[in-house]
A and B are shown apart, each in its own frame.
Chain A
């Protein structure tokens, strides 16, 4: 599949808004969920470490 130009690639044959709206949502969800679970694990680790210092 050759697009010819980046402009043609981003335009997606006139469906750019739909295609990138879908892929953008997937990327946003993947990013936010990754950060959220990592933050939750870091929080749980900190709480456990605090408990060790002051039992």
Chain B
């Protein structure tokens, strides 16, 4: 079946060039990012468990921080990136933008789930409770629901272009929640502690603790990049099945 397009051939070439080029470049880049992720994770875990000292107040329970903080940051950051791509898709109607937004949502949802899960297991020994309906925790739960709403809405609409637009609007509206999460510990009285790291002021934790947290954050970044790009490649193939460049891949399409 030939892809039917009313646009002139030059325009069509431009339209199909972006996903094809994306597919080719990410195919080369992802293995390096995955290896980088593994190296960073091993280094971060080593510093976190064998270099960083015991916390004076929280004992060993504080070591949950090395996965909790990166997960919480990624949950928020991925949402902003997702809304950014969704907005680009709505404004310029570019093919890759909506694919990137769709590819980011599941990883962002898992990151915010991990932030809640590890937070609960950290809260129990330090605050005496797994959960409290305070501003930080409630707004992070809403973040998880926004991701799930995005995915549910997208999969509920059969036409992918219409699904992109509807879910894209939801993503953009929901971005208002991100500053609420970030500033919630300042704006409201919260059980959650304030930031250990704030832009423009010195960190309030010991150097090896900070190092472990930052290296683990980089590992989470690499993980998110590798998984999101792999998912985006799959979506590209699913959507561009009928195009010339996918036919031209040959073999099992590496």
State the A residues within 8 Å of B (CB): 1, 3, 9, 12-15, 18-19, 21-23, 25-26, 29-30, 33-34, 37-38, 40-41, 43-49, 51-52, 55
Cβ-defined contact, A49 with B252, below 8 A: yes
Cβ-defined contact, B59 with A13, below 8 A: yes
Cβ-defined contact, A1 with B227, below 8 A: no
- State the Cβ distance, A52 to closest chain B Cβ, in Å: 6
- State the Cβ distance, B75 to closest chain A Cβ, in Å: 12
In-complex Cβ contact of B237 among A26, A38, A48 (8 A) = A48
- Give CA–CA (A44, B234) in the complex, Å: 6
How many B residues, CB 8 Å from partner? 44
Cβ-defined contact, A38 with B230, below 8 A: yes
- State the Cβ distance, B79 to closest chain A Cβ, in Å: 17
For B249, what are the chain A residues with a Cβ–Cβ distance below 8 Å? 48
In-complex Cβ contact of A26 among B60, B67, B247 (8 A) = B67
Given contacts A19-B61, A25-B114, A29-B113, 6 further A-B contacts (CB under 8 A): A15-B125, A18-B125, A40-B234, A48-B253, A49-B253, A55-B247
Q: Does B11 contact A (CB under 8 A)?
A: no
If A1-B54, A13-B54, A25-B117 touch, does A33 touch B110 (CB 8 Å cutoff)? Answer: yes
If A18-B121, A45-B253, A48-B237 touch, does A33 touch B106 (CB 8 Å cutoff)? Answer: yes
Cβ-defined contact, A18 with B124, below 8 A: yes
- Give CA–CA (A34, B49) in the complex, Å: 24
Q: Is the interface of A mostly helix, strand, loop or mixed?
A: helix
- State the Cβ distance, A14 to closest chain B Cβ, in Å: 7
Q: Does B100 contact A (CB under 8 A)?
A: no
State the B residues within 8 Å of A (CB): 1, 49-54, 59-61, 63-64, 67-68, 71, 106-107, 110, 113-114, 117-118, 121-122, 124-125, 223, 227, 230-231, 233-235, 237-238, 241-242, 246-247, 249-253
For B106, what are the chain A residues with a Cβ–Cβ distance below 8 Å? 33
Cβ-defined contact, B241 with A1, below 8 A: no
Cβ-defined contact, A1 with B49, below 8 A: yes
Cβ-defined contact, A22 with B64, below 8 A: yes
- Give CA–CA (A27, B117) in the complex, Å: 13
For A45, what are the chain B residues with a Cβ–Cβ distance below 8 Å? 237, 252-253
- Give CA–CA (A45, B27) in the complex, Å: 13
Cβ-defined contact, B241 with A48, below 8 A: yes
Cβ-defined contact, B1 with A41, below 8 A: no
The residue among B51, B234, B235, B252 with the most chain A CB atoms within 10 A of its own CB is B234
21 contacts between A and B (CB under 8 A): A13-B59, A14-B60, A18-B64, A18-B125, A22-B122, A23-B64, A26-B118, A29-B110, A33-B227, A37-B231, A37-B234, A41-B237, A43-B234, A44-B235, A44-B238, A47-B237, A47-B238, A48-B237, A48-B253, A49-B252, A55-B247
